[in-house]
Amino acid sequence: MTTLQVNIHAAKSRLSELLREVEAGTDVIVARAGQPVAKIIPWPPAPPERKIGFWDGQIHIYEDDIVGSDPEILAMFEKSAEEDLF
């Protein structure tokens, strides 16, 4: 990738040309007295449009795969709910 550095006056005068350079893949740096102050970059492409229901019918959950609640854990929750915390 090539880099092009221009001063502020040239950037104001040649903005359309510099934008075409950026679209073509050139990095354009705008400088003041030889010191870089800004970089002109291309606008990022829009993300693809999300489709509602894209996974519909493609995921299957079988009853044997579902793990039930652990009675020991449930007992601990019930005990902590009954205790006075304050």
Question: Dihedrals φ, ψ of 80, to 5°?
Answer: -70, -30
CATH number at residue 33: 3.40.1620.10
Q: What is the pLDDT of residues 18-60, one digit of tens each?
A: 999 999 999 999 999 999 999 999 999 999 998 888 888 888 8
Residue 45 lies in a domain: no
Question: Two tokens at 23?
Answer: 């679209």
Look at residue 27 and tell me if it is in a domain. Answer: yes
pTM: 0.54
**Domain that includes residue 11, residue range:** 3-40
Distance CA 26, CA 18 (A): 9
70 lies in some domain:
no
The total of structural domains in the chain comes to 1
The answer as to whether 66 is a domain residue is no
- Kindly state whether residue 7 falls inside one of the protein's structural domains: yes
pLDDT greater than 60 at residue 11: yes
